Amino acid sequence: QIQLVQSGPELKKPGETVKISCKASGYTFTDYSMHWVKQAPGKGLKWMGWINTETGEPTYADDFKGRFAFSLETSASTAYLQINNLKNEDTATYFCARSLRLYYAMDYWGQGTSVTVSS
């Protein structure tokens, strides 16, 4: 069955770096685009951007340009989200989600990874 399994919760200090993984199974990884979505505590969903799993080219939403990086390990069917120079406002749950291609709905989601940034 199709699954997106994310790495476990993270507790980090301001200024540190975190890298979250999203391992796909049950489908051909490069047939679907991968998105990242942020949900701050008690808040709604915010699209962070997507990565083309065929080319590895990332595209970032305006609010997520600079400290955020999407990458792939295609041989392992895994996508990564790295956040550099963590800030308190990065405290959130981060989801990966796939879509058939850009401008399609997100039909499968990872379970989410909680990132807490606190000194």
Of positions 2, 11, 45, 76, contacts other proteins by CB under 8 A? 45
Of positions 79, 106, 115, 117, contacts other proteins by CB under 8 A? 106
Tell the smallest beta-carbon distance from residue 36 to other proteins (Å): 11
Question: What is the C-alpha separation between 83 and 12, in angstroms, rounded?
Answer: 11
Which SS3 state, helix, strand or coil, does residue 2 take? coil
Instruction: Report how far Cα 5 is from the mean position of its chain's Cα atoms.
Output: 11
User: Amino acid identity of 69?
Assistant: A
Phi, then psi, of 16 in degrees rounded to 5? -80, 175
Of positions 54, 67, 109, 116, contacts other proteins by CB under 8 A? 109
Closest by alpha carbon to 22, among 84, 76, 67? 76
Name which of residues 10 to 39 contact other proteins (CB under 8 A).
35, 37
Tell the smallest beta-carbon distance from residue 112 to other proteins (Å): 6
Tell the smallest beta-carbon distance from residue 110 to other proteins (Å): 6
